[in-house]
Amino acid sequence: MNSLFCSPLRYTQGYDATQSLGAEMAALGLSGPVLLVTSPSPRKLLEPVWAKTLGDAGIAHVIHDFAGECTSAEIARIVAVAGAAGAAAVIGAGGGKVLDAARAAAAELRVPFVCCPTVATTDSPTCAISVVYTADGVYEKTLFHGVNPALVLVDSHVISRAPARMLVAGMGDALSTMFEARACVAAKKPNTRGGACTISAMALAELCYRTLLADGAEALRAAKNGEVSPAVERIIEANTLLSGLGFESAGLAGAHGVHNGLTAAPGTHAFLHGEKVAFGVLVQLMLEKAEQAQVDEVLGFCCSVGLPVTLAQIGCANLPDDVLDLVAARATAPGEWTHNEPFPVTAPMVAAAIRAADAAGHAFLAA
Ligand SMILES: [Zn+2]
């Protein structure tokens, strides 16, 4: 198996970075016309900025209002609108679903994709993957595209306007990256692109974890005050770039498998991806029989930024055994990330690890 590392061509982050969108695209040789896919709040905030920056760069653009869910039908609509506009590139500006739909349309059209996340809530912006849902919001499939975005442009001023909870959830998603990378390497499992992990991807995953420990709590304090401090910039980078490159080029394992399992418990539906992933990290550590010092470090970090450490904190207080069994079965379904752990994982093992993680969380909170 070859080692394989992939990334966007260019990553740009900064306060009011949107003002540089046109120049950044021009620097990559991208020209118009472009289709810009977005949702109401980014459009309200940024439409004049897009007009100026793209206009200054001589890039004509058409805006497509995202229908609200990343469905096959919405991707087809974007492809049709882009085709009618003769789009030479697609820009996505918004949250994960907007970006995933725009990314999938660009891949289908074989034109470059420019990714402008307006929240730092997951690590998906840099990757070449779209998650597709039904119109009712039920998971349908994951699309693995050939190429990563040409440009990922992250405006920290825009991101600072989102609720602090979004940034915290992004830290939860980023928390999993190093632990899942280590599991995949120990198991000699391929990364999400079918190659072996490079030492570069592992180094980025480890830096991601160290950055969370060093800057997470301070970034949350600043974010709550609407400040874009250096710690906030570093956490945005950890949540987006470090975690994104780390998960895609190193791999996913128990934490994301448990996350997918937890979606079978109705109580978790009000919680964000990264919040469930954070609890999934604890479960993965229980599965792996990690050292107590490592467990305590993760628990301490989670508590310092308000990430969940108990079932009650993800809407599953008094989780019945039959629902737990459903969660564990879903987490160990064939092909699930859980099977990237370096030992066979069964549903009863996951159920026991979920109870153990919950107990560890309660014990830590009580201490
Ligand atoms: Zn994730």
Treating both helix axes as pointing N-terminal to C-terminal, what angle do 254-262 and 164-187 enclose, rounded to 10 degrees?
Answer: 130
27-66 confidence digits (pLDDT tens):
999 999 999 999 999 999 999 999 999 999 999 999 999 9
Identified catalytic residue from 173, 296, 321, 322: 173
Place of tokens 């301490």: 300
**Ion ligand 1: residue ranges with CB closer than 5 A:** 173
- Contact criterion met (CB below 8 Å) for 274 and 243: no
CA of 362 to the centre of ligand 1 (A): 24
CA of 266 to the centre of ligand 1 (A): 19
User: Strand 113-117 to strand 129-133: parallel, antiparallel, or no bridges (unpaired)?
Assistant: unpaired
CA of 173 to the centre of ligand 1 (A): 5
CA of 274 to the centre of ligand 1 (A): 6
pLDDT value of residue 331: 96
Buried b (16+ CB within 10 A) or exposed e, 251-273: bbbbbbbbbbbbbbbebbeebbb
pLDDT surpasses 80 at 344: yes
> Could you confirm whether 256 is annotated as catalytic?
yes
Identified catalytic residue from 61, 64, 100, 273: 273
Residue 55, helix vs strand vs coil: helix
What is the rounded CA–CA span in Å between residue 25 and residue 151? 7
Asked, colleague to colleague, whether 10-160 and 164-366 share their fold, the answer is: no
Identified catalytic residue from 61, 100, 215, 256: 256
Residues whose CB is less than 8 angstroms from the CB of residue 117 and which lie 6 or more positions away in sequence, other chains included? 94, 95, 96, 99, 125, 152, 154, 159, 240
120-166 confidence digits (pLDDT tens):
999 999 999 999 998 887 778 899 998 999 999 999 999 999 999 99
DSSP-assigned letters across all residues of 248-289: HHH---HHHHHHHHHTTSGGGGGS-HHHHHHHHHHHHHHHTT
| Mean pLDDT, rounded, for 210-220 | 98
Q: What is the DSSP letter of 72?
A: H
pLDDT value of residue 337: 96
pTM of the predicted structure, to 2 decimals: 0.96
Phi, psi of 169 (to 5 degrees): -60, -40
What average pLDDT does the chain have? Answer: 96
> Could you confirm whether 273 is annotated as catalytic?
yes
Q: Which two tokens stand for residue 280?
A: 């999934």
The CATH code that applies to domain 164-366 is 1.20.1090.10
| CA torsion, ordered 178, 179, 182, 183, to nearest 10 deg | -150
| CA torsion, ordered 111, 116, 122, 125, to nearest 10 deg | 30
83-112 confidence digits (pLDDT tens):
999 999 999 999 999 999 999 999 999 999
DSSP-assigned letters across all residues of 203-253: HHHHHHHHHHHHHHHHHHHHHHTT---HHHHHHHHIIIIIHHHHHHHH---
What is the residue extent of each domain of the chain? Answer: 10-160, 164-366
- Contact criterion met (CB below 8 Å) for 155 and 114: no
> CB under 8 Å, gap of 24 or more: what pairs does 360-367 form?
360/282, 360/286, 360/295, 360/299, 360/309, 361/282, 361/299, 361/308, 361/309, 361/310, 361/313, 362/310, 364/296, 364/299, 364/300, 364/303, 364/309, 365/303, 365/309, 365/310
CA of 244 to the centre of ligand 1 (A): 9
248-282 confidence digits (pLDDT tens):
999 999 999 999 999 899 999 899 999 999 999 99
> Could you confirm whether 61 is annotated as catalytic?
no
pLDDT value of residue 135: 87
| Mean pLDDT, rounded, for 190-213 | 96
> Could you confirm whether 259 is annotated as catalytic?
yes
pLDDT value of residue 303: 98
What is the rounded CA–CA span in Å between residue 92 and residue 102? 5
The CATH code that applies to domain 10-160 is 3.40.50.1970
Residues whose CB is less than 8 angstroms from the CB of residue 273 and which lie 6 or more positions away in sequence, other chains included? 96, 121, 122, 169, 172, 173, 259
